[in-house]
């Protein structure tokens, strides 16, 4: 494979409704897309970094900068082009390893090159990653609302649409009461879980144990990302299984968290861990340890959403992921919209991602384009 260059394109997409988590409120999504152009095909990557470094240290401007300044020049170097020519996307992580962190940028460029490679081969992401299902159950992530009635109305809408699982974002002051209200209104059969996005400390253990009464699938990332031992201590005090998100940034950190008893479940987000190939390694590691995994979301466009659905079709993804329909976040997606069918989303089967941006729609939301020639 011979790379001619990579296009860095920023798009700005309004959300259908504000999405509030414990770290902030999003009303629009400023996204960095990558297009890898090879002699044989074009491939798309999506960088999941948010506008501000509130979910993780990465933010979208920093990811574009590190790509332009360090990562793409490394891939374009004689050593980089030789390795890409030999091994394609599988060479990207190793080539970029000397540069610390910035996993969301690394994941995006690996995704773009992998997509180009698979499109040239006529092979889908799902087949490449090892998907074993042709559709996967779709969960929805529900933000923090201004009131319990507003939350119940939102949850009712998602359940009417057919979502197979509901996740409530929580924070101190918005936890036991909304969970109790959702259980009381919609009953014990709804698959329900919560996500704190690091908003608590170990001193909140007794309070968080009150959530044990509601038969939740899991509580996600209650403590700070670096507090792995704290999660292990909390796990001994809660009946609700602990799931890690922010803390797991590689297969190595996943192995440590599992060994320390810090999680019974892992939320895998390819952007957070440096790419779909590392995501698959974490899946394999977790499966070997009997740890369940599911696929998280970062308010992706149809591009990232399609790749996530392919990943979620691997056999160890035994819990419904945040792989919702495009309409959960966007009135108009840049690809053919991902739609819900009986609570499921369909694993794309076309070459590469199986979806591509629709040129007119892409232009409408584009705010800048930059070409880096190799």
d(CA 129, CA 117): 13
**Rg of the chain, C-alpha, whole Å:** 20
Catalytic residue among 35, 106, 167, 169: 169
Binding mask 146-185 for Mg ion (x = CB under 5 A): ----------------------------------------
Binding mask 209-238 for Mg ion (x = CB under 5 A): -----------x------------------
Q: Which is nearer to Mg ion, 321 or 352 (CB)?
A: 321
Q: Which residue is associated with the tokens 């056999």?
A: 315
Q: Which is nearer to Mg ion, 9 or 20 (CB)?
A: 20
Q: Which range touches Mg ion (CB under 5 A), out of 5-13, 104-112, 242-250, 309-317?
A: 242-250
Catalytic residue among 35, 106, 167, 269: 269
Query: Which of 114, 134, 116 shows the shortest CA–CA distance to 126?
Result: 134
- Find the shortest distance in angstroms from Cβ 169 to Mg ion: 8
- Find the shortest distance in angstroms from Cβ 4 to Mg ion: 37
Selected from 117, 225, 245, 278, the binder of Mg ion by CB under 5 A is 245
- Find the shortest distance in angstroms from Cβ 355 to Mg ion: 24
d(CA 232, CA 252): 17
Binding-site size, Mg ion (CB under 5 A)? 3
Cβ-proximal residue to Mg ion, closest one: 245
Using CB under 5 A as the binding rule, whether residue 195 contacts Mg ion is answered as yes
CB hemisphere CA count around 34 (13 angstroms)? 33
Q: Measured on CA atoms in the order 100, 306, 45, 120, is the torsion positive or negative?
A: positive
Q: What is residue 216's DSSP assignment?
A: -
Q: Which is nearer to Mg ion, 11 or 219 (CB)?
A: 219
Alpha helices in 39-147 (DSSP H): 60-66, 72-76, 78-87, 92-96, 103-121, 125-129
Strand-pairing partners, residue 33, are 9, 46
Q: Which is nearer to Mg ion, 58 or 245 (CB)?
A: 245
Told to judge if 167 belongs to the known catalytic residues of this protein, a careful annotator would answer: no
Non-local CB neighbours of 369 within 8 Å, separated by 6+ positions:
7, 8, 9, 10
- Find the shortest distance in angstroms from Cβ 370 to Mg ion: 30
Q: Which residue is associated with the tokens 């949850």?
A: 155
Told to judge if 35 belongs to the known catalytic residues of this protein, a careful annotator would answer: no
Q: Which is nearer to Mg ion, 119 or 169 (CB)?
A: 169
3-class secondary structure, 319: coil
Q: Which range touches Mg ion (CB under 5 A), out of 24-32, 161-169, 240-248, 326-334?
A: 240-248
Residues involved in catalysis: 169, 269
**Residues forming the site for Mg ion (CB under 5 A):** 195, 220, 245
């Amino acid at each position: 494979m011979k790379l001619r260059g990579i296009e860095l394109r920023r798009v700005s997409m309004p959300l259908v409704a504000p999405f509030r988590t414990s770290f902030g409120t999003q009303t629009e999504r400023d996204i960095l897309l990558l297009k890898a152009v090879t002699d044989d095909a074009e491939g798309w990557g999506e960088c999941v970094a948010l506008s501000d470094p509130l979910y993780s240290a990465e933010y979208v401007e920093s990811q574009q900068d590190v790509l332009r300044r360090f990562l793409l020049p490394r891939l374009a170097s004689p050593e980089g082009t030789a390795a890409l020519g030999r091994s394609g996307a599988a060479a990207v992580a190793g080539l970029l390893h000397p540069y610390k962190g910035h996993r969301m940028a690394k994941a995006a460029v690996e995704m773009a090159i992998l997509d180009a490679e698979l499109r040239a081969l006529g092979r889908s992401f799902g087949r490449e990653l090892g998907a074993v299902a042709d559709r996967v159950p779709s969960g929805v992530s529900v933000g923090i609302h201004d009131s319990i009635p507003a939350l119940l109305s939102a949850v009712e809408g998602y359940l009417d649409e057919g979502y197979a699982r509901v996740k409530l974002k929580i924070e101190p002051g918005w936890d036991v009461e909304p969970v109790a209200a959702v259980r009381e209104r919609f009953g014990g059969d709804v698959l329900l879980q919560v996500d704190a996005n690091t908003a608590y400390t170990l001193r909140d253990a007794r309070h968080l144990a009150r959530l044990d009464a509601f038969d939740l699938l899991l509580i996600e990332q209650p403590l700070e990302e670096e507090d792995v031992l704290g999660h292990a201590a909390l796990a001994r005090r809660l009946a609700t299984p602990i799931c890690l998100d922010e803390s797991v940034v590689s297969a190595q950190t996943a192995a440590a968290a599992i060994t320390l008893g810090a999680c019974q479940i892992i939320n895998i987000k390819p952007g957070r861990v440096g790419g779909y190939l590392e995501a698959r390694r974490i899946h394999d590691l977790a499966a070997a340890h009997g740890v369940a995994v599911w696929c998280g979301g970062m308010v992706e466009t149809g591009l990232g959403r399609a790749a996530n659905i392919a990943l979620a079709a691997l056999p160890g993804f035994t819990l419904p992921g945040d792989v919702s329909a495009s309409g959960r976040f966007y009135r108009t997606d840049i690809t053919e919209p991902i739609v819900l069918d009986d609570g499921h989303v369909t694993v794309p089967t076309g070459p590469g991602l199986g979806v591509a941006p629709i040129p007119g729609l892409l232009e409408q939301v584009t705010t800048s384009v930059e070409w880096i020639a190799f």
